[in-house]
Amino acid sequence: MALEQQIMTEMKEAMKSKDEATLRALRAIKAEIIKAKTEPGAGGEIDEATEQKFLQKMVKQRKDSIEIFEQQGRADLADKEKEELAVIQRFLPVQLTEAELTVAIKDIIATVGATSAADLGKVMGVASKQFAGKADGKAVSALVKSLLS
């Protein structure tokens, strides 16, 4: 419930300051919270892991949209997505740097005993659990592939 209360508080502030970009992003997050709470089996409550999961999904959607809009030459729409992305990312944990990620992945590779690209699945299984919410899945996958090859 902490995220929902934080979103509501920030929405009020955004309305008072007439910050349309922030308000748009906060409304999108609120809609995801409501959607998650009303899914079958949720029981009207959502845990922190579910919150992180849908926030990451929203970040991924925004990044994909930005890429598409920039390819299409629609800087105006890309700018709106970037504004929303910045707001959504405030609610996610701090992302690992590439250096931190490299060290952690090397540790996982040593722990799992991976030696070749055939062991990619073993490493990714451990890495995806360990870095949930802390690193982008594509970046982790690319780094694991490069370290194993």
pLDDT tens track, the chain, 149 positions: 488 889 999 999 999 999 999 999 999 999 988 888 888 876 777 888 788 888 888 988 999 999 999 999 999 999 999 999 999 988 887 777 888 888 888 888 888 887 777 777 888 888 888 777 777 777 888 888 888 77
Instruction: Please give the backbone phi and psi of residue 44, each rounded to the nearest 5 degrees, phi first.
Output: 80, 5
Task: Tokens 């934080």: give the residue.
Answer: 6
pTM, full prediction: 0.71
Domain housing 123: 98-148
Domain boundary among 89, 110, 129: 89
The CATH number covering residue 22 comes to 1.10.1510.10
Residue position matching structure tokens 């300051």: 17
What pLDDT is recorded for position 44?
Answer: 74
Within this chain, do residues 60 and 116 fall inside the same structural domain, yes or no? no
Same domain for 10 and 43? yes
Q: Between the CA atoms of 41, 47, 51 and 56, what dihedral angle is there, to the nearest 10 degrees?
A: -90
